[in-house]
Chains A and B, each alone.
Chain A
Amino acid sequence: MLYFAVRRLVSALLVMFAISVLVFLIFFATPGVDPAARIAGRNADQVTLAQVRHSFGLDRPLPVRYLLMMRHLLVDRDLESFVNRGSRVIPQIVQAVPVTLSLVVGAAVLWMAVGILMGTAAAALRGTAADPVIMLVGVIGVSLPAYWLGEVVNLITQKQLHDTVFSWVPPPGYVGLGRDPAQWALHMLFPWLTLSLLYAGIYARLLRGEVVTAMNEDYVRTARAKGLSERRILIRHALRCSLIPIVSLFGLDFGALVGGAALLTEVVFGLPGVGKLTYDALQNLDLPVIMGTVLYAAFFVVLANALVDVLYARLDPRARHA
């Protein structure tokens, strides 16, 4: 088990290394991306341009530039943005994390609750008209483009019905939890609903499938034979076993979202989280920030994957060799 965990860790580090190299290479393969001219300012003299290029180390060979950047990011922890000079990358990420966490944790609670409820209800009502209806609702949630949904929600709450039903909806943006918990929740409400609508369907559909399968398993038949009530069987036995794949999928999704995968939701609702930071950095082609946020995101994805793998390995020894 320990050997497996160590191996997993080494491969995770390898993956992170590969990602950082990839980001770096893609960046410098993009034409017009050389930040020297942008930093130097418009119509800068050729000599000034050369000075700027030199002072940022942009005239050095690529591997050296890569090592320098990683040293500043990981060892000295003082890597600075190309665009907002003097603005350090790590504090920017640290500042953005609580926003992303607010969004993701709130949405996750919602979608897990709704997803489990919908999935279980659909499985329990299998054969009735309610099952396909619940599943259809789930499918529609999964099928909506995230940014579009966000824009339409904004349109309705900020304009179309803002003067009547939604006059209590604050303008998009973020208020810190510490500053005003009520405003925090109010500002996060629609982002939460939007994000969780997209995920609840996935979990409902997955859970329904698992529960339906489980209801045909031997242990359920045994329980039935013992004369337990259907409700008890459903909740105590079938649902419990069905939650394992749900939890592992949740681990992956949660990891990716904390890493900034909720980028579109954050952008549309103007939440200054990690996704928005990444998006802005991409728009500005601000390599140091892109590097920081991508590695941060990859860290959570890799971590979530590793945890899920280790969990599976505990449950199923065969997976250790997989």
Chain B
Amino acid sequence: MSRTTRRTAFAATAVALALTAAACSSSGDGGSSDPSASSSGSGSSAFQPQHKGGTLRLVAKSAAGTFDPQVNYTLQYWQLYQSMYDGLLAFKKVGGQASFTVVPDLAEAMPKVSNGGKTYTFTLRKGIKFSDGKALTSDDVVASFQRIFKVSSPTAGTFYNGIVGADACIKKPAGCILDKGVVGDASAGTVTINLTAPDPEFAYKLAVPHASIVPKDSPEKDAGTKPLPTTGPYMAASYDPNRQLKLVRNPHFKEWSRDGQPQGYPDVIEYSFGQTVESEVTAVQNGEADWMYDPPPSDRLNEIGTKYASQAHVNPLTAFWYLTLNVNMAPFDNKLARQAINWAVDRDAVVRLYGGKNLASPACTVLPPGFPGHVDSCAYTKGGGKTWSAPDLAKARELVKQSGTAGQSVGIVVSDDEVNKSIGQYLQSLLNEIGYKATLKPLSGNIQFTYIQNTKNKVQLALTSWYQDYPAASDFLNVLLSCASFHPGSDSSINISGFCDEGIDARMQDALKTGQTDQKKADQEWAAIDQDIMTESPVVPLINPKIVDFTSKRVGNYQFSKQFYMLVGQLWVK
């Protein structure tokens, strides 16, 4: 699961590609010390009709592509889908830590799991209608699961490949039936899903938008700019990716579960595209817009943090920015050379380039603080310690010398927006300092991510980031650093370092298995794996970023879900 939210800076290009979910969990992380005004309401407070109504105006530099919930894989729209589309299950739609909890949504209750964890049985709620007025039945559910494969959903082969019959559907999407995998019983109102093997993360996978239930007569291809009917409180009235997306109330929506799908407050949500980030800030300041999607440009942060502090909400994300070191190419096929980089990088400098210590914290492990499996530990900090304190340049130089790689040339590939490019320039300067000849290649944000994955492009060092899809350690370690994620010659090879260690791979499989029965023990295993990977040093964790939501003065009831970020439908404009 993954995602990179590439939020962009003015003039610098780059569109936010990515996605997902958020945040950091749990106690003890930077969240609590955060000065932010973010109020995460807890629990499901009752609907307050006096705040109902009005038009919420959102702005973003650009649209996020197709509006099909089973295809779109961007944070920008996943955030909106929360108050539009529903799956059988959902992440609880509240602020705070509780947003990592999975609750029943279109299903009446959590599924009955049988057959050793391989069979899930759901009973559908009665009386739910799509926004086109048709009733939702088990046929729609079956068709929606088929549709995941028919539209080649990005996660078809990674999230839903465990459903019985999925292999055939991935290979031949057109005739996908899943007749043994997803079985509906219209008269009983039940749906049964059979897996080929138990999957402790399956409930999470059913709660993300790709598993949304859409009408059975939806087109069997990406719906693109023609939004599909919804089940939630809002439906799309129009969508033009160059201008505006307009959401209005779904006339057939009746609140069935405040946790799963609460009633929304604004009557209309207008999402405009195409302004520069600078003017987005100005628009929110002047009350011409209520919220901006893009991160504010660096020269406006100070102003937002002081003059508009009451309108800014800062929340830590369960994500990390990191460097990938290509372990199959000189000089980073040498472990000492890789470790040298981990010793050398001044995380404080990177934090500064990102916007200061209230916007990011130094990272030393793959798993972000507050994430399942995270344990404070830092193998590469001057003077030792559990968290990062300072770089050790002398040690780095020494290791470079020992490795015999001094004087070699290193190409750094970054995307060309302001923040990434400035971190790239710092790295270039740093690598030259410790004995390499570094060149910097800033690429358009849109191609950098696929470019660095393909081994044919011979990328030695790249700057990238990973944002969680759902709260499970495997979402970082297994996805980013397992042998199965390394596909030489392909543009989709998320193990960018090309790191493949059979011993560690086997332990990750074990930890996954342990997770089926004992999540706590599994998380301890993941923590050990994280530390052992850091010893091998295929990646250099840099920072764990935070997000700033900047809202207009009139907006109330700001709530931050760690899973899907700000709850758009819950904002008050009255």
Contact = CB atoms under 8 A, between A and B. Distances in A.
> A and B bound?
yes
A154 B278 contact: yes
29 contacts: A32-B491, A37-B490, A38-B446, A38-B447, A38-B450, A41-B73, A41-B153, A41-B154, A42-B18, A42-B19, A44-B154, A45-B156, A46-B487, A55-B152, A80-B224, A83-B15, A84-B241, A87-B224, A95-B243, A96-B242, A171-B288, A172-B275, A283-B13, A283-B14, A283-B15, A283-B445, A284-B444, A285-B444, A285-B447
A165 B451 CA distance: 48
Given A32-B451, A37-B492, A47-B170, A85 B154 contact: no
Central interface residue in B62, B65, B67, B279, by most chain A CB within 10 Å: B65
Contacts of B282: 158, 171
Contacts of B136: none
B457 A48 contact: no
Given A45-B161, A84-B241, A280-B62, A52 B152 contact: yes
Nearest to A54: B152
Interface string A285-306: 1000000000000000000000
A285 B491 CA distance: 16
A86 B283 CA distance: 29
4 closest Cβ pairs, A-B complex: A86-B224, A45-B157, A41-B154, A32-B451
A41 B453 CA distance: 13
Interface stretch (B1-9, B342-350, B391-399): B1-9
Interface in B221-241: 221-226, 240-241
A51 interface: yes
B154 A40 contact: yes
Nearest to A88: B225
Interface string B230-268: 000000000011110000000000000000000000000
A181 interface: no
Contacts of B358: none
Interface SS of B by simple majority: loop
Contacts of A43: 1-2, 154-155, 158, 479, 485, 492, 494
A46 B14 contact: no
A97 to B, nearest CB: 13
Interface of A: 30-34, 36-38, 40-49, 51-52, 55, 80-81, 83-87, 92, 95-96, 154, 158, 171-173, 267-268, 270, 272, 276-277, 280, 282-285
B499 to A, nearest CB: 15
A297 B526 CA distance: 56
B242 A95 contact: yes
A160 B457 CA distance: 46
B276 A32 contact: no
B411 interface: no
Interface residues of B, number: 68
B305 interface: no
B504 interface: no
B274 interface: yes
B232 to A, nearest CB: 21
Nearest to B14: A283
B242 A277 contact: yes
Contacts of B443: 32
B18 A40 contact: no
Nearest to A42: B2
B447 A84 contact: no
Interface string B428-457: 000000000000000111111111011011
B66 A84 contact: yes
B492 A49 contact: yes
Contacts of A268: 276
Contact of A44 (B173, B286, B444, B492): B492
Contact of B279 (A33, A80, A173, A284): A173
B283 to A, nearest CB: 6
Nearest to A282: B444
Nearest to A172: B279
Contacts of B67: 86
A86 B275 contact: no
A272 B73 CA distance: 26
B170 A45 contact: yes
Nearest to A286: B446
A177 to B, nearest CB: 16
B508 to A, nearest CB: 16
Contacts of B288: 171
B154 A86 contact: no
B477 interface: no
A32 B492 contact: no
B274 A272 contact: yes
B206 interface: no
Contact of A48 (B156, B222, B286, B485): B156
A184 B278 CA distance: 20
A40 B72 CA distance: 10
B279 A48 contact: no
A241 to B, nearest CB: 45
B63 interface: yes
Given A86-B67, A87-B240, 10 more contacts: A40-B152, A41-B71, A43-B494, A44-B492, A46-B157, A46-B487, A47-B171, A85-B222, A270-B275, A285-B447
A31 B457 contact: yes
A302 B446 CA distance: 31
A272 B243 contact: yes
A270 B225 contact: no
Nearest to B64: A84
Contacts of A267: 11, 276
Interface string B53-71: 0000000001101110001
A30 B446 CA distance: 13
A232 B357 CA distance: 72
B211 to A, nearest CB: 15
B5 to A, nearest CB: 11
Contacts of A154: 278
